[in-house]
Amino acid sequence: GVNFAVTCGVTLGRRCVIAEGVSFFDTNYHEVDEGRGIFSAPVVVGANVWIGHGAIILPGTRIGDHSVIGAGAVVRGEFPARSLVAGVPAHRVRAIECRDNFTRS
């Protein structure tokens, strides 16, 4: 139940939890503005990240270790480790407190 639309790369760290209905895109597949070309950039998801149901991860996104992405979030940009990220467009809601050896289950 997870969609990967990949042209240049999606990297997932160890122990990620990905809910049903999540979509990863590393390209927009078409030119949005005339003369700007197609935008493609790798997606990088750190270790021990939880991505909630129906989230959409857009080209060039980087999510740090131990982060949580809320259900339905539309994620674009760079988020540091231990971030709670939610919304449309997604933004960092707050920092997450956890030890380096914490494992999501």
So which residues are the catalytic ones? 30
Backbone dihedral region of 23: left (phi > 0), alpha (psi from -120 to 50 degrees) or beta?
beta
Given a contact cutoff of 8 angstroms between Cβ atoms, the answer to whether 89 and 76 are in contact is: yes
